[in-house]
A and B are shown apart, each in its own frame.
Chain A
Amino acid sequence: MSAGQLPRWVDYGLIPFLNLAAAFLVSGLVVILIGENPLDAVQILLWGSLGYAEGFGFTLFYATNFIFTGLAVAVAFHAGLFNIGGEGQAYVGGLGVAIACLALDRYVPWYVTLPFAIAGSAIAGAAWAFIPAWLQAKRGSHVVITTIMFNYISFSLMVYLLNNALKKPGSMQPETRTFEDGGRIPFLNDLFPSLGFGYAPVNLSLMVALAACVLVWLLIWRTKLGYEIRSFGANATAAIYAGISPVRIIVITMLISGGLAGMMAINEIMGSQHRLLIDFVTGYGFVGIAVALMGRAHPVGIVLASILFGMLYQGGAELSFEMPNITRDMIIVIQGLVILFAGALEHMFRPAIMRLFTPARALRAKEA
């Protein structure tokens, strides 16, 4: 392996950049295939997501969701686990938020409800990840397939609950009653009107998300548990040698991962929708996978990747007015391409880059 050590900036900067560039290049080709001009599309996208304050507000709102689901996937990655269940875990996380808000919203202010909502969402999301975690740890059942299955099961569960137990009395809609003030997180626009976020639903959950980033960073790289998680993910045999229990790590990691995904519901349910409704996750859980891969499972990368995907969503909404051919599905295509190039094909450019770098270094090595 030593024959071919690339400098850090290449490993962490250049190659990921090339991977992304490839993903977006191919996306551009798809845009051409449906008969639109990719350059125009990019312009509209950039303007819609960054060009004006309200648009940027929307971008940040979406980014908040992705930070949570991205962190979820990233934490699991460090243990070598692939948690595809963020979608279902976030959905069930909504249940935790709704229960806290419905119980407290009439009695206490939002900042008292919030910790309960955070706890509720995290516990609910973690609980939804528990069975796949336990099955992987104890029975070797592949966590990828089980978490995907739990995504599907969560749809059935939530539809049932929202049509029956949780339904707003006297309504035909499968949703809960709207939360009172005690169950609503303030919009950033209400707190800082000068920023001009207007109708964008970006709210204080963004701060919670960023706090989560810091906590995840501390956890993974500065705590003993984090050391054990990384060890297990890097070399499970060495981890056992070191006295680390695979069962314990798999379960704890997945619980943390599920909890983080569940917390996405705070932003959507308590921060924006102010009620629990069906299908509020709309694929944000899956975006988390692309975000984690693009952000190389590091909180800083995840924040950046989340903003990028936030731009895609907000810009995409703007785009759907100007270029109706480019539907929401285009974002799924881009997601797939990012996962492909930043994940499965992440080493595709390595040999070429190595050839660029090695002759110079070999010469220097020989002279040494």
Chain B
Amino acid sequence: MFETIILILDSTIRVSTPLLLACLAGLYSERSGVVDIGLEGKMLGAAFGAGAVAYLTASAWLGLLAGIGVSVALGLLHGFASITNRGNQIVSGVAINFLAAGLTALLGQTWFREGGRTPALPEGGRFSEIVWPLAAEIRDIPVLGPIYSELLSGHKILVYAAFLAVPLTWWVLFRSRFGLRLRAVGENPAAVDTAGISVTWLRYRAVIVCGVLCGFAGSYLSIAAGSGFGVNMTAGQGFMALAALIFAKWKPFNAMFACLLFGFLDAAGTRLQGVSFPVIGEVPLQVFQALPYVLTVVLLAGFIGKAIPPKASGIPYLKERS
């Protein structure tokens, strides 16, 4: 029983990592007032970039860099449309999702000819587990052993990075000058403008940070969790991250719990597939497949209190004319 719990929790951590990274990405963007529906597209683009470059160079780190590059490029496109051109931020996000979906499959097929996938990663092209010291020895100690050696040790470096990013984000948001200004520009950009700070540059920086974190998220999928890019491999995780963000009311530690919740339910659900329940019998596979999406809707229904976004969210900044 305990072993099962540890396995589920272990799985939880791994499944929630990309969600958490994407969620934090969205947090920076939305806190600055730029709504980002395009997390999905950035993750997908990053996954492709990482998978492709990791295959070609046999280096996971170069793959990560490429993934971040693609994601930031898409993020800058979103920024260009939303900030500079003051366009509809939702439409821009939707456009980026399609662009990413189309381009990754198209280029994947053209360059690798495997139906849109990138080829399996060679040695060195995939991030490996980081085993903590003495993990093998400690494993047998009751309770603490498995927690140390299975739950904590043995994850890919991106997993640890994701969870470290949470307190880091909190610190940046609430203890740094950049964070103060970021939060201000999402609430009242005019106040920031009249204080002599560039609203545009501040928002672009938020969008770039968002791109970097989405880059981590997408790269994790293809070169850490998986072994290469697969068509549409994000499968809606970018939207789940967005729902988690709203559920978390745009706060870093809440975001972590929200993403862990998603991960837990996904992991637990996988365990229950094929299991016969009393009365209901076996639950159809499709129920488990639909579960994360249903959960997203439930979270958005906000039965757990109303979520108030940053005041200037989604509104392009325009200097008032008298």
Contact = CB atoms under 8 A, between A and B. Distances in A.
Is any CB of A less than 8 Å from a CB of B in the complex?
yes
A176 interface: no
Interface string B31-42: 000000100000
Interface residues of B, number: 48
22 contacts: A34-B106, A34-B107, A82-B91, A82-B94, A139-B303, A149-B243, A149-B296, A150-B293, A153-B293, A164-B284, A329-B101, A329-B103, A339-B95, A340-B92, A343-B87, A344-B92, A344-B95, A345-B85, A347-B85, A347-B87, A348-B85, A348-B87
Nearest to B100: A336
B264 interface: no
Contacts of B102: 329-336
Interface string A128-165: 00011001000111101110111011001101100010
B180 interface: no
A326 to B, nearest CB: 8
Given A327-B106, A344-B92, A135 B284 contact: no
A307 interface: no
Contacts of B300: 135, 139, 141-142, 145-146, 149
B110 interface: yes
A141 B301 contact: yes
Contacts of B289: 156
B109 interface: yes
Nearest to B78: A344
A153 B108 CA distance: 27
Interface string B279-322: 00000101101100110110011110010000000000000000
B12 interface: no
B130 interface: no
A146 B301 CA distance: 9
A316 to B, nearest CB: 12
Contact of A145 (B77, B92, B239): B239
Given A146-B297, A347-B87, A336 B286 contact: no
A329 B48 CA distance: 15
Contacts of A153: 290, 293-294, 297
Nearest to A351: B85
Interface in B80-131: 81-82, 85-92, 94-103, 105-107, 109-110, 116
Given A144-B37, A330-B106, A289 B85 contact: no
A333 B236 contact: no
Given A82-B90, A144-B37, A344 B301 contact: no
Return the 3 tightest CB-CB contacts between A and B, nearest first.
Answer: A332-B102, A336-B98, A333-B102
A344 B91 contact: yes
B291 to A, nearest CB: 9
What does DSSP make chain A's interface, helix, strand, loop or mixed? helix
Contacts, number: 149
A187 interface: no
B85 A332 contact: no
Interface in A295-348: 325-327, 329-337, 339-340, 343-348
Nearest to A142: B300
Interface string A338-368: 0110011111100000000000000000000
B52 interface: no
A185 interface: no
Contacts of B47: none
B242 interface: yes
A333 B104 CA distance: 9
Interface of B: 37, 77, 81-82, 85-92, 94-103, 105-107, 109-110, 116, 235-236, 239, 242-243, 246, 284, 286-287, 289-290, 293-294, 296-297, 300-303, 306
Contacts of B105: 327, 329, 332
A84 interface: yes
Q: Residue among B97, B101, B102 with the most chain A CB within 10 A?
A: B102
B116 A156 contact: no
A293 B91 contact: yes
A329 B116 contact: yes
A286 B99 CA distance: 12
B314 to A, nearest CB: 10
A35 interface: yes
Contacts of B98: 286, 332-333, 335-336, 339
Given A30-B103, A150-B297, A339-B98, A144 B85 contact: no
Contact of A340 (B99, B116, B287): B99
A152 B287 contact: no
A280 to B, nearest CB: 18
A83 B293 CA distance: 17
A343 B86 contact: no
B92 A157 contact: no
B88 A145 contact: no
A325 B236 contact: no
B88 A34 contact: no
A157 B87 contact: no
A139 B301 contact: yes
Nearest to A324: B109
A66 B91 CA distance: 19
Contact of B290 (A33, A131, A152): A152
Nearest to A331: B102
A344 B297 contact: no
